[in-house]
Structure 1
Amino acid sequence: MKRNRLRALRWMAMVFAFVLVGAACGTSTDTAGEGETTTATAAESVTTTTAAAAATTATTVGATATTMAPEPQRLLVWNKDETDTFQELIRLFREDNPGVEIELVDRSFENYDTAVALALTSDNPPDVLQQSFAYKSMGAFVKAGEVMPLDAYADQYDWWTRLGTGAASLSFSADGLDYGVGNLYGVHMQGEVVGIYYNKAKLAELGIDPPSTMSEFEAALAAARDGGLLPINLAGATAWTLGQMYHVIQGTIVPAVDTLAWVYGQEGASFDTPGQIEAAQYIADWQEAGYFSDDALGFDYPTSLGTYGGGEGVFMFQGSWANGALSADLGDDLGFFALANDDGEILSVTSTVGASWGIGARTASPDLAAKFIDFVSGPVAAELMAQAGNLVAFQEFTTTKPEPGSS
């Protein structure tokens, strides 16, 4: 590098001397008027040539520096509920991509959507972010132009294979109003399914077997109440937990195609149907029967999760994402099942693809962001997440882009 710099300085000196000689000759041979013009031109030549030579030197030195030490690349990543698994994925990504700097912003599940929405409109928006596939989250971001479509990267990395038909759940129309159609805006890793957890030790205490049908479940609820136990541990202060309980019941009554028609906003679809009303009536009846605690509407999700893990309650409607925390508390006493109707049928199962990774529309490094998403949703991530007890959504059954609205 020192030799290159000296060589460049010599060339600068030679060029500078040559221009000075040319300027002197021009001034001495021309008339006064022309000489003034020539002198000005020569001076301009000195300035221009010297600047060009200096630029050449800077370029040469800069090129040498770039070769020796690449300028670090940076990603600002917004994540919800950071885990040891995710920290390990970041470490492995950095190991495979030397010089990449990752700044991680972590927020709790409860306030993440609000916080990341504000961040997207700030002077320091995220390059990569987790987002819920909901109208108030992904839909709102798409409508505001704050996240970018990922179809081109899905083609490049073959995410269509990885996502399978779940790609429809991560698609929105450009106006953010139509769900399940349009462009892809997210890539998920973790699959999630909602069902009913049960405490095996408490069922044994009551002398009953784990239920599977609605009649068996209601009989178990009555037995728990009569035995002095809390039948259902409910986080009533967290609205989405009420929705999950409703959807599990709904799955024993309403065919999946009817529910999805309403979810995707298909023409003529309605939520005001006898089956939907029947599902809601179950919850009203259970409240009347005393299957929830009197203060259930005052408990939020974290509190409910902690009390159930501590042994309060026989059953709990919740998703597979709670498995890690509950297993740590209850161990082999923890069970889980999907509720069927009395004909033994499960007409629909409430499942999701988990929070998805998206790319902020104002990122300066979209290719690097896509590379990061590909890694944290790929086979290495799948293995680590499975080891941590998570349900991994990693599919290899399709190699073509799903039709819009498919599910």
Structure 2
Amino acid sequence: MTAPKRRPRGSRTLALLTAGALTLTGCAPGSSAPPAPASTQPAASPVRTDPGALGNLTLTVWDQEVRGGQAAQMEQLNAAFQAKYPNIKLNRVSRSFDDLNTTLRLALSGNEPPDVVEANNGRSSMGAFVKAGQLCPLDAYAEAYGWKKRYPESVLRYSRYSADGKLFGEGNLYGLPQVGEVVGLFYNKAKLTELGIAPPKTWPEFEFALAKAKSAGQVPLQFGNLDKWPAVHVFGTVQSRNVPAEQIGTLAFGRKGASWNTPENVKAAEQLVTWADQGYFAKGFNGQGYDAAWQAFGKGQGVFMIAGTWLLADLQKALGKELGFMLPPGATADAPPVATGGTGLPFAITSKSPHPDAAAAYIDFITNAEAMKVLTETGNLPVADTARQTVAEGPQKDVFTAFGTASGKDGLVPYLDYATPTFADTLGAALQDLLAKKASPQEFLATLEKDYKTFSEAN
């Protein structure tokens, strides 16, 4: 959901040397003290999953959970972890998302990086850290703790990279998230009642609702695209009604073997332009900011809004029981769920940590079933066991049900701006031009194809 991050081009030689040295560092399971010199380093010990038996130690944890319920859940879970394992002291450093991104790169390249970090899973952050050998692969811990059973693969793949950092969405596991997010349809229940229609169960019903709202003088789809990236979510939703999910995954993860220049993508682009032509978006949408758009929706200006679950708290505060949320409907009522979505920042273990077993135990603790309950109680969207959480009827339950359905049935498709280090800027600008009639659907897709092919063929 966030603005795109750049992926720096590191030295291939450095990456290979660092990756080869991973077996000689604290990444080795079983380590609980600084690594011995390379010449005397013993073979990796088995994974140890009893934190109480690791002796007295301090774990330094960097996170970006600084707001409201985010901070509350971390404070509660950290206190519970230290109460259960008094031999492990937590040194928590909490920074804003932007500050964390700014300082983490320098910290990981230093001699004493944190043990556990939240690393943005995009190519410019986690991908670059993996390429530089600065994060531990967590597959041995995933096996020991059963993380592959706890998390569906549609969620885990957002933290997977090949060992050289080139392939995103497959390979080793490098992190585990706490929270989830999905892009869907927020809707105003009162306005649907006024229009005499029910929440749409199919995509044709949704388009019928947009047309009826327009004819009734309502704003069918609240939308602000001054920031450029909001159109990425709207286009992604339209695209996933027309393009096979596996093809979207190939494009979004920047892999070879797919193309933007397809009839299905043309159809998606044409549909978006048609919506603009028919007046389904708010007036002046390309000049309206994202915040202004969702705030207008919260004031009753709009029947629908395509947006992510991160807006739940603000919109629920504004609209109360009149707020609804649903996954984008398919061509038929029984179509498999497909929605743009992903996870919050995953927690990862740094390769220089002298306590990887303790770090893994900590990550397991803050992502287990009890932790998911704490996340729910503090107003967050847990990424695992979502459908099993007990929440009151209303918007929050709508969101939980939607994410649980999409993730549980492998229905999440990646954010399109993941594709290349520059794709978010390329796609955002191209969508503005498309919606402003400065580029045809074919020209729009040709722009995307150039960026995508340049990266995927060289990567």
Q: TM (normalized to structure 1)?
A: 0.70
Larger % of helix: which? 1
State yes or no: 1:90 paired with 2:86: no
Inter-partner Cα distance in structure 2 for 1:310 and 1:359? 43
Judge conservation of contact 2:221–2:281 (CA < 8 Å) in 1. yes
Q: Displacement, 1:270?
A: 1.8
Judge conservation of contact 1:339–1:346 (CA < 8 Å) in 2. no
The residue identity in structure 2 corresponding to 1:104 is V
Q: 1:107 aligns with which of 92, 96, 103?
A: 96
The answer for the alignment partner of 2:382 in structure 1 is 392
Flag the 1:146–1:268 CA change in 2: closer, same or farther, 3 A.
same
State yes or no: 1:153 paired with 2:138: no
Flag the 1:238–1:380 CA change in 2: closer, same or farther, 3 A.
farther
Judge conservation of contact 1:213–1:340 (CA < 8 Å) in 2. yes
Q: Which runs of 5+ in 2 are unaligned?
A: 1-54, 387-412, 414-459
Judge conservation of contact 1:187–1:358 (CA < 8 Å) in 2. yes
The answer for the alignment partner of 1:198 in structure 2 is 187
Inter-partner Cα distance in structure 2 for 1:127 and 1:300? 38
Q: 2:198 aligns with which of 179, 189, 209?
A: 209
Inter-partner Cα distance in structure 2 for 1:209 and 1:336? 13
Inter-partner Cα distance in structure 1 for 2:276 and 2:102? 32
Q: Which runs of 5+ in 1 are unaligned?
A: 1-69, 397-406
Aligned-residue CA RMSD (Å): 3.0
The answer for the alignment partner of 1:79 in structure 2 is 64
Q: Displacement, 1:388?
A: 4.1
- 3-state DSSP class of the match of 2:185? strand
Judge conservation of contact 2:115–2:353 (CA < 8 Å) in 1. yes
Inter-partner Cα distance in structure 2 for 1:267 and 1:123? 37
The answer for the alignment partner of 1:363 in structure 2 is 353
Inter-partner Cα distance in structure 1 for 2:57 and 2:182? 40
After superposition, what is the alpha-carbon deviation per residue over 1:163-196, rounded to whole angstroms, capped at 9, x for unaligned? Answer: 2323333210122111232211011232332211
Structure 1, 216-225 or 341-350: larger mean CA deviation: 341-350
The answer for the alignment partner of 1:57 in structure 2 is none
Inter-partner Cα distance in structure 2 for 1:81 and 1:244? 25
State yes or no: 1:293 paired with 2:278: no
Inter-partner Cα distance in structure 2 for 1:386 and 1:141? 31
The answer for the alignment partner of 1:162 in structure 2 is 150
The answer for the alignment partner of 2:221 in structure 1 is 232
- 3-state DSSP class of the match of 1:86? helix
Q: TM (normalized to structure 2)?
A: 0.63
5 Å matches for 1:19-168? 73-82=58-67, 83=70, 84-98=72-86, 100-108=89-97, 113-121=101-109, 125-165=113-153, 166-168=155-157
After superposition, what is the alpha-carbon deviation per residue over 1:16-71, rounded to whole angstroms, capped at 9, x for unaligned? Answer: xxxxxxxxxxxxxxxxxxxxxxxxxxxxxxxxxxxxxxxxxxxxxxxxxxxxxx96
Q: Displacement, 1:361?
A: 2.7
State yes or no: 1:222 paired with 2:211: yes
Of the two, which has the highest radius of gyration? 1
Inter-partner Cα distance in structure 1 for 2:337 and 2:147? 29
State yes or no: 1:186 paired with 2:175: yes
Flag the 1:362–1:234 CA change in 2: closer, same or farther, 3 A.
farther
Inter-partner Cα distance in structure 2 for 1:112 and 1:302? 23
Flag the 1:238–1:91 CA change in 2: closer, same or farther, 3 A.
farther
Q: 1:373 aligns with which of 363, 378, 391?
A: 363
Judge conservation of contact 2:63–2:100 (CA < 8 Å) in 1. no
Judge conservation of contact 2:131–2:163 (CA < 8 Å) in 1. yes
State yes or no: 1:269 paired with 2:258: yes
Flag the 1:87–1:227 CA change in 2: closer, same or farther, 3 A.
farther
Inter-partner Cα distance in structure 1 for 2:204 and 2:99? 38
